[in-house]
Amino acid sequence: MPAANPSRSCSLLAACWAGGALLWAACSSAADDPRVWVDRMNQALATRNYDGVLVHQLGDRQDTLRIIHRIQDGHLTERLLSADGSGREFVRSDNELVSYFPDRRIVVVERRSRSLGFIGGLPGVDANSYTQYDLGDAEPAMVQGRPTRLVSIRPRDSYRYGYRLWIDEKTNMPVQTQLFAGDGTIIEQNTFASLSLPARIEEPLLRSQLPTDGYRWLRREPPQFKPGEKVSWAAQALPPGFRRTGVGGGEVSNKPVSHLLFSDGLVTVSVFIESAETPPALSRNGTPRKADGPAQLGAAAAFTAHIDGYRVTAVGEVPPLTVRLIAESLRPQPEAGAASPVAPVR
Amino acid sequence: MNETERDSQLSALFDGELAADPAALVTRRLLKDPALRATWGRYALIGAVLRQEPLLQPAGGRADLADRVRLSVLAEPALAPAAQPPVFAQPGAGSWRRGLTGAALAASVAAVAVLALRWQAPVALAPMAAQPSQFTTVVAANSTPPQSGSAQPEPAVRTGVQDVAHSYTTPRQSQASSARLPAPLVNYVVAHSEYASPGARLSSLSAQMSGSMDPDVNTHEMTKAEVSARR
């Protein structure tokens, strides 16, 4: 028996050590888990008031905007003021966006389908994200002397972009974000030059102070899509990881348009399908405009293909190849009822 | 003098809190050093934005600020390669940030938290930066539209490892500065922006501000009653 004691105490020690190590690992993984930090950031963006100066960089274009964002009683109000000397302002109240262009003396009122701020979170980061993206630990990083966590979400292939988020440790706000390609090229960057999180934001700060006398007031009716409508289109072969996540139907300028959504869990690509028989829209000077082939709209790539008498346009913040593959993979289904599930290629 | 001290002196000068002798020294340095001038310009810019002041217009027209900022970006010392997260300067004791804090407090009843970040040296955004950044439509190289049912004009781009580089190459931007987003695409971009990636919703604003998207495209006049109801 005497020999058993040391052995038992050894295994006890080992068990304690292993338990301790596990506990430590659990604690450290929760503290460094990128998903935890992204959740905190999403929560902060969805619930906090903020007022800051934001530098938005896209290519060689750089815009400096003051952004005042308020969530009060479940309602979103947001005001963006451009610092480019034009005096342009954008005021969002839930589903409505009012854009002021004092240099053109016009105001444009638009209805949007969802109530979202201009700075969105990154929903959809979960265990499945690891298939398409490489998520490292949320590493401590100093940004302008403030402790932040850097969450790097790197694409595993060239069909999608990656994200870098510098999340403030104290407030969970993204003090800097980058959208980057797999080769390291930075596509878009947002940086807060200053940021405050006031408990209250008074109404006047959220209202444009521009004198709009003599301005033209215009309304833009963007397509309104009803989710869940049957769309008899299917994708033949999607880029890896993408699957259909939503379907809607609607009208644009009195012609029916289908809206399909494809996502890899993080990024969403919209596909709009309209009959190609309708005449092409006219430009301001009355000449028809070509809208076929590739286009780049800020960080979003677009591609329009003609398929079986339809114009199919894919738009998304993905590499140009991805929107092209998605647009060209779509085919009308012979039976409207047989909306077969989209078969992703893996 | 290290960078932190230099920056802190600069912000003290900016706030008029520097004694005459060091002020003269910093001013001389400011005149000589384009990077320092760029920093100075950014302090002024941040202050102006916070105070909602209209920025000075040059005699030549608008779009001055973007140009000025771009110039100041160009004047920045060499930045980290794009693949690396940028390395930031350590913060100084710049008192303009106290100003920011004050402004924020004045703007609100109570501040839960106030952060004020030093203006960051923007990183160079590589390939797009080399091109005119109009968010314009790019008509496919072959100007004839693909025939319906067989829309594969350039199969080389479709698949294959050798095409990986293509996927990161932004389609060639139109050189014509007057080129604008065609009306049908505007609708789709607007509709898609609700599903856009974080930050990307700002790029549709960017498109409007850069003039590549006509603000009044796809719009109609509101009635007098509608307008007066909004006032």
Tally C-beta pairs within 8 A across A and B: 437
Least confident of A151-165, A202-216, A291-305: A291-305
Instruction: Identify the CATH homologous superfamily for domain A224-332.
Output: MucB/RseB, C-terminal domain (3.30.200.100)
CA distance B229 to chain A (A): 12
> B79-127: per-residue pLDDT in tens?
222 322 222 222 332 333 333 333 332 332 222 233 333 333 334 443 3
Place of tokens 């969805």: A46
Confidence of residue A320 (pLDDT cuts 50, 70, 90): very high
Q: Kindly state whether B39 is in contact with chain A, defined as any CB-CB distance less than 8 angstroms.
A: no
Question: Which range among A99-113, A224-238, B27-41 has the greatest average pLDDT?
Answer: A99-113
pLDDT of residue A43: 93
Q: A206 at the B interface (CB within 8 A)?
A: no
Rounded average pLDDT over A247-255: 71
Say if residue A297's pLDDT is above 70: yes
pLDDT for A134:
95
Instruction: Kindly indicate the confidence band of residue B190, based on its pLDDT and cuts at 50, 70 and 90.
Output: confident
Question: Which pLDDT score is estimated for B92?
Answer: 32
Output the CA–CA distances (angstroms, integers) from residue A68 to A38, A46, A53, A204, B111, in the order listed: 22, 14, 9, 11, 14
How many DSSP H helices and E strands does chain A contain? 4, 22
Task: Report the 10 Å Cβ neighbour count for A20.
Answer: 10
Distance in Å, alpha carbon of A12 to nearest chain B alpha carbon: 45
Least CB–CB distance from B183: residue in A63, A180, A283 = A283
Q: Which of A42, A58, A312 to mutate to test the interface with B (most CBs of B within 10 A)?
A: A58
Residue A14's pLDDT is 63
- Please answer yes or no on whether B137 and A291 come within 8 Å at the CB atom: yes
- CB-nearest to A84 from B66, B191, B222 is B66
Q: Which of A17-31, A130-144, B19-33, B203-217 has the lowest mean pLDDT?
A: A17-31
- Using CA coordinates, name the residue in chain B closest to A206: B107
Give A337 to chain B, closest Cα distance, Å. 22
Reduce the DSSP state of residue A83 to 3 states and report it: coil
Instruction: Give CA–CA dist B135/A59, Å, rounded.
Output: 10
Is some CB atom of chain A closer than 8 A to the CB atom of B149? yes
Is the pLDDT confidence value at B191 over 90? no
B74 touches chain A (CB under 8 A): no
Residues A60, B215: C-beta atoms closer than 8 Å: no
Whose tokens are 């930066």? That residue is: B129
Q: Token pair 């009716």 is at which residue?
A: A221
Q: Which residues of B touch A115 (CB under 8 A)?
A: none
In the predicted model, what is the mean pLDDT of chain A? 82
**Distance of residue B37 Cα from the nearest chain A Cα, in angstroms:** 17
Give residues 305 to 344 of A whose Cβ lies within 8 Å of B: 305-310, 313, 315-317, 319-322, 324-325, 328
In Å, how far from its chain's centre is CA A341? 25
Question: Would you say residue B151 has pLDDT above 50?
Answer: no
| Selection from B60, B168, B45, B149 nearest residue A309 by Cα | B149
CA distances from A4 to A9, A234, B126 (A): 9, 68, 67
d(CA B158, CA B170): 15
Contact A193, A55 (CB under 8 A): yes
Query: Which of A42-51, A158-167, A201-210, A281-290 shows the lowest per-residue confidence on average (mean pLDDT)?
Result: A281-290
Q: Do A259 and B111 touch (CB under 8 A)?
A: no
Question: Residue B215: what pLDDT?
Answer: 74
Residue of B nearest to A289 (CA): B182
Contact A198 B109 (CB under 8 A): yes
Interface residue B125 vs chain A (CB under 8 A): yes
> Is A87 in contact with B54 (Cβ distance < 8 A)?
yes
Asked if ipTM goes beyond 0.85, one says no
Domain ranges of chain A: 35-206, 224-332
The pLDDT value given to residue A225:
63
Q: Do B137 and A143 touch (CB under 8 A)?
A: no
Q: How many CB atoms lie within 10 A of CB A17?
A: 10
Of A46, A69, A58, the closest CA to residue A201 belongs to A69
pLDDT at position B133 is: 30
Q: Is A157's pLDDT higher than 90?
A: yes
Given this model, what pLDDT does residue B44 score? 58
Q: What is the DSSP string of B68-133?
A: HHHHHHHTSPPPPPTTSPPPPPPP---THHHHHHHHHHHHSS-EEEEE--PPP-PPP-HHHHTS--
* B146 contacts in chain A (CB < 8 Å): 292-293, 305-306
More confident residue, A43 or B28: A43
B152 pLDDT more than 60: no
Whole-number Å distance between alpha carbons of B210 and A84: 10
Percent of chain B whose predicted confidence (pLDDT) is above 90: 0
CB contacts under 8 A, B 167-206 vs A, are 167-171, 173, 181-185, 187-192, 194-206
Between A150-154, A179-183, A203-207, B3-7, the lowest mean confidence (pLDDT) is in: B3-7
Looking at residue B56, what is its pLDDT?
Answer: 36
CB spacing of A83 vs B48 below 8 angstroms: yes
* Rounded mean pLDDT, A302-307: 91
In a mutagenesis test of the A interface, which of B114, B162, B197 is the best target, namely the one with the most A β-carbons within 10 Å?
Answer: B197
Cross-chain Cβ contact B207/A190 below 8 Å: no
- Top CATH class, A35-206: mainly beta
Mean pLDDT of chain B: 49
Among A82-91, A130-139, A324-333, B196-205, which stretch is predicted with the lowest mean pLDDT? B196-205
